[in-house]
Structure 1
Amino acid sequence: MMDSRIKFRHLQTFIEVARQKSVGKAADVLSVTQPAVTRTIRELEDYLGVDLFEKEGRGIRISHFGEVFLKHAGESIAAVQRGVDSIVQAKHSLGPPLRIGALPTASVSLMPEAVAEFLKARTGSMATIVTGENRWLLDALRVGDLDLVVGRLSAPERMTGLHFEPLYTEEVIFAVRSSHPLLSRRNFSLSEIGNYTVLMPTAGSVIRPFVDRFLVTNGIAELTNVVETVSDSFGRAYVQRYDAIWLISGGVVASEIEAGRMARLEVDMSETRGAVGLTTRANEAPNLSLSIMMTTIRDRVKQSGRGI
């Protein structure tokens, strides 16, 4: 853990003395007095518990400990400078484009408000939001065509080279229109869903394994009237017009359920619960625009009270 007593001025002064090999020359470059430079170096040496410089004739040279510390001090100063440059670039010019892949549950429940907040930051970055199957989105992220994917955690074999940050958990539900016949039944057999058209996530979707496992566990090995889709607009339109049953992440239809246009069948779906969050490329620091977008998404989840 970094010693909180070490300040930016300590690093800047140390680097300049090492570069100039002279307290006097470093003082001139930094526009401070020699005693101020000497005092700052001594403070830093006291905090570290080692001598950073040694006398050499009438001058000084950096010590072995100083050589070790110099590399890290230089990296710290450079990182701060990159941050400053990023802020300046964002304020005075167009920022880098921001390309986000969002699964249906996130594109409906998180992204509208997050994008609105992001635009208030005026980074100059144009945000592009795309949707699609989880497999395609992760492949695009991995090769650099996307900067971020927002949605469910994928299977381990699809996460190579990627990093997932969980934000909240969500389960799959049986969504139907508000006048669906099964809603009037206090108790019904789960096998009765076979009497209706069932909208299922496609084989490549991230929630399909949860759905398949749930159906098999509950003795439903095969459904005859099935439509596979990852289109949330089609799903809404179809379910609101017909007595179909839609297996979909709860967040996708939360607003319709709240407004009374749709409802969920009272079935325990807790075993389909999974983490929803942010997927990025591993070991790659986000640029300023991406950092701001990720922060707005995190804040949106906290405000909703769903955070993990």
Structure 2
Amino acid sequence: MDSRIKFRHLQTFIEVARQKSVGRAADVLAITQPAVTRTIRELEEALGVDLFEKEGRGIRISRFGEVFLRHAGESVAAVQRGVDSISLARKSLGPPLRIGALPTASATFLPEAVHAFLMAETGSPVTIVSGENRGLLDALRLGDLDLVVGRLAAPERMTGLHFEPLYSEEVCFVVRADHPLTARPHFSLTELAQYTVLIPPAGAVIRPLVDRFLLTNGIADLPQTIETVSDSFARAFLDRFDAVWIISRGVASPDIAAGRLARLDVDTSETRGAVGLTTRADRESSLALSIMITTIRDHVRSAVDRF
């Protein structure tokens, strides 16, 4: 769009075209006739065409004006819809926002992003739902969720959905800070068989990555495992017992930084995968959802840098 064309140019042009009179348009707009005439001339100079023609003692819109009127009307209507949306949001009439969150998002950037969203006073209440990736994506597809925040799912699970990557992370092996394995500079992964190992369940998005990693390193089976998506249970279990937790790095990072957990020296770079935002491909984002997505983008970089 030509930077010389302002919203007031469109409003004035539309009103003159509607009234077929500069004087009547000036009355409606509550400005002087010279101001209307000047605004129309500025618009015509920017476009390089005459938008109105003399007709007797009055004026009529030109053929160029007819073409421009359609687009100008659409533009002003779009702006008005935006203004109305903001007005509704400020009156606490925004639609509810339902977010499915995987642990890696819940433990890192999502709390701060949701807090910042609430401070924006959109008027939309927020619901956070946790669970396995499969169930969250099904709920998104059915319209029970507006957004899923977490890892990119397998291609067959992404039909009808759109994924926006934010960053990538890998899984890691974590234990209690004073776990026996932390006292040793080197150990073999086969020693995992001596401990209870907490792993993601079959429906978790990172489970195939974990299985492939273990098989690649010659571990076909672990004698004692607990499948869980509950990070609160995993933290409590590790606090009481000499267990090993295989989980996305972001989930454990706050505990590692606080010294409650320790990351074992295991190269898991082959498990690296994208973390981001999943939405329905066939649904236009509401104002609240658009603001939430923008807020999450703004908070991701600083949070990711911390872990």
TM-score w.r.t. the length of structure 1 is 0.89
| CA distance 1:69–1:271, shift in 2 (3 Å) | farther
Aligned to 1:173: 172
Residues 54 and 198 of structure 1, relative CA distance in 2, 3 Å threshold = farther
Structure 2 regions of 5+ residues with no counterpart?
none
Task: Describe the shift of the 1:65–1:220 C-alpha distance in structure 2 as closer, same or farther (beyond 3 A).
Answer: farther
Equivalent-residue separation in structure 2 for 1:223 and 1:64 (angstroms): 78
Which has the higher mean CA deviation after the structures are superposed, 50-59 or 119-128?
50-59
1:50–1:285: structure 2 CA closer, same or farther, 3 Å change rule?
farther
Are the equivalent residues in 2 in contact too, given 1:13–1:40 (CA < 8 A)? yes
Please list the CA deviations of residues 225-282 of structure 1 after superposition, one character each: whole Å capped at 9, or x if unmatched. 2222211122212222222221111111212212222111111111212222222233
1:201 maps to what in 2?
200
Match of 1:99 in 2: 98
Amino acid at match of 2:127: T
CA contact (8 A) 2:109 2:303 kept: no
Q: Distance in 1 between matches of 2:261 and 2:166?
A: 26
Pick closer, same or farther for the CA change 1:213–1:71 going to 2, 3 Å.
Answer: farther
Per the alignment, residue 23 of structure 2 pairs with 24
Report the Cα distance in structure 2 between the residues aligned to 1:297 and 1:275, rounded to whole angstroms.
15
- Post-superposition Cα deviations, 1:266-305, rounded to whole Å, max 9, x if no partner, equal 1111121222222223364433333333333223223335
Residue-pair matches, total: 306
State which drifts further: 215-224 or 263-272. Answer: 215-224
Q: Alpha-carbon deviation of 1:103?
A: 0.5
Alignment of 1:266-281 (within 5 A): 266-281=265-280
Q: Secondary structure of 1:149's match?
A: strand
Task: Determine if the alignment matches structure 1 residue 139 to structure 2 residue 126.
Answer: no
- What secondary structure, in the 3-state scheme, does the structure 1 residue paired with 2:178 have? coil
Q: Return 5+ residue gaps in structure 1 as ranges.
A: none
2:168/2:275 contact within 8 Å kept = yes
1:75 paired to 2:74: yes
Residue pair 1:168, 1:306 contacting (<8 A) in 2 also = no
Separation in structure 1 between the aligned mates of residue 159 and residue 70 of structure 2, nearest angstrom: 31
Match of 2:234 in 1: 235
Decide whether the 8 Å contact of 1:176 with 1:263 is kept in 2: yes
For residues 31 and 292 of structure 1, what CA distance do their matches in structure 2 show?
35
User: Aligned-residue CA RMSD in angstroms?
Assistant: 2.4
Report whether the alignment pairs 1:294 with 2:293: yes
| TM-score between the two structures when normalised by the length of structure 2 | 0.89
CA 159–68 in structure 1, closer or farther in 2 if over 3 Å, else same: farther
Matches within 5 A, 1:53-132: 53-56=52-55, 58-132=57-131
Q: Does 1:215 align with 2:214?
A: yes
Distance verdict in 2 for CA 1:202–1:58, change over 3 Å: farther
Deviations 1:109-168 (A, max 9, x none): 122222222232233322111101112212222222112211112223323333322222
CA distance in 1, matches of 2:68, 2:268: 55
Residue 302 (structure 2) pairs with residue 303 (structure 1):
yes
Q: Which moved more, 1:54-63 or 1:140-149?
A: 54-63
Residue 106 of structure 1 and its aligned partner are, at CA, apart by: 0.9
Partners of 2:237 and 2:12 in 1: CA distance: 68
The 8 Å contact of residues 101 and 137 in structure 1, kept in 2 or not, is answered as: yes
Quick one: which amino acid aligns to residue 128 of structure 1?
Answer: T
Q: Give deviations 1:208-235, integer Å, cap 9, x for gaps.
A: 2222232233232333322222111222
Instruction: Give the 5 Å matches for 1:253-272.
Output: 253-272=252-271
Letter in 2 for 1:42: R
